[in-house]
């Protein structure tokens, strides 16, 4: 059963809110706490997964969003366990996801 763009967007925004809570603990906590790392990685992965299922027409309405980069991060997190760049994950969580949320709330 496929989900509507509205449902996916709702889930994406809810996950981004939880992610923001984790990010608010700071980069030092992320760097030193494997549980926080895993939670943040999972949230970023889930956001990428929601984006893979958004319709092309929805994505075309938001041309300023780097859809390929978001999905690319999801792919790395899902399939490249041994090559995860924690700096890239932190940047995605603390910079890219908030920018995505801002773009989607316009």
Cβ neighbours of residue 74 closer than 8 Å, sequence gap 6 or more: 44, 45, 47, 48, 49, 51, 52
The pTM for the full model equals: 0.93
Q: For the chain of 106 residues, list the mean pLDDT of each consecutive stretch of 10.
A: 93 97 97 96 97 97 95 92 89 96 91
Per-residue CA distances from 64 to 12, 13, 15, 37, 86 (Å): 17, 18, 21, 28, 25
Active site members: 74, 79
pLDDT at 106: 80
Provide the pLDDT for residue 80: 84
> What pLDDT score was predicted for residue 83?
82
Q: How many CB atoms lie under 10 A from the CB of residue 72?
A: 12
């Amino acid at each position: 059963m496929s989900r509507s763009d509205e449902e996916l967007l709702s889930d994406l925004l809810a996950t981004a809110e939880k992610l923001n809570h984790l990010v608010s603990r700071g980069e030092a906590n992320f760097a030193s706490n494997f549980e926080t790392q895993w939670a943040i990685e999972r949230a970023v992965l889930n956001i990428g997964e929601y984006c893979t299922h958004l319709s092309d027409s929805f994505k075309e309405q938001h041309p300023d969003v780097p859809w390929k980069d978001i999905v690319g991060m999801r792919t790395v997190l899902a399939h490249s366990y041994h090559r995860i760049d924690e700096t890239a994950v932190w940047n995605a969580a603390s910079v890219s996801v908030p920018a995505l949320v801002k773009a989607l709330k316009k």
